Amino acid sequence: MSYDLVCANCSGLVELGRCSVCRASREQLRAQRALPASWLLLAAALLGLLFLFAR
Ligand SMILES: [Zn+2]
């Protein structure tokens, strides 16, 4: 996964985190991308519990 977004503040790659704006948007991007994964994990855990109780 690559973050090839260019920062509006320092015109460097956001992924490099050259300035505070870069680092802030990079963290925001990671949080946004991590959220669906955690929801999937939660759904998988719930499904596992369902199978456990269905038996
Ligand atoms: Zn920047």
pLDDT 10s digit of each residue in the chain, 55 long?
A: 455 789 999 999 999 999 999 999 999 888 887 777 788 899 999 999 999 998 7
Per-residue b or e along 29-51, where b marks 16 or more CB atoms closer than 10 Å to that residue's CB: eeeeeeeeeeeeeeeeeeeeeee
**Ligand 1 centroid – CA 41 distance (Å):** 32
| Domain assignment present for 47 | yes
Residues measured by CB to lie within 5 Å of ligand 1, the ion = 7, 9-10, 18-19, 21-22
Q: What is the pTM of this model?
A: 0.53
Total domains present in the chain = 1
Q: What is the 37 CA–ligand 1 centroid distance (Å)?
A: 27
Q: What is the pLDDT of residue 1?
A: 47
pLDDT score for 6: 92
pLDDT at 35: 78
The boundaries of the domain holding residue 42 are: 14-54
User: Is 9 inside any structural domain?
Assistant: no
